[in-house]
């Protein structure tokens, strides 16, 4: 399957107390999205986590420019 050049893809992930899985989720999603599109974003929605989910998500956003955290 070729990459989609003209399609924008927004991938939303709700996260609640997922500090142990956020990094893998982002890295797996990037791997998949890179194979199908050149124009994508990953949006992580931290739903009031009481663990370090928000901090881990913020680190992913710093590391990968296509990752956003809300």
**Ordered mean pLDDT values, 10 residues apiece, the chain (70 residues):** 69 96 96 91 96 97 97
* Residue-number span of the structural domain to which 36 is assigned: 9-69
Per-residue CA distances from 47 to 7, 15, 52, 55 (Å) = 28, 6, 12, 13
41 falls within a domain: yes
- pTM, two decimal places: 0.85
Report how many domains make up the chain. Answer: 1
Q: In which residue are the tokens 């990953």 written?
A: 42
CB 15 within 8 A of CB 46: yes
46 falls within a domain: yes
Residue 65 CB neighbour total at 10 angstroms: 8
Q: Rounded CA gap, 3 and 44, in Å?
A: 23
27 falls within a domain: yes
Q: What does the pLDDT read at residue 7?
A: 77
Q: What does the pLDDT read at residue 38?
A: 87
């Amino acid at each position: 399957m070729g990459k989609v050049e003209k399609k924008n893809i927004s991938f939303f992930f709700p996260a609640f107390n997922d500090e142990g899985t956020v990094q893998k989720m982002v890295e797996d999603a990037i791997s998949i999205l890179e194979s199908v599109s050149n124009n994508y974003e990953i949006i992580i929605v931290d739903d009031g986590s009481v663990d370090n989910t928000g901090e881990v998500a913020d680190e992913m956003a710093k590391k990968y420019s296509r990752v956003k955290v809300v």
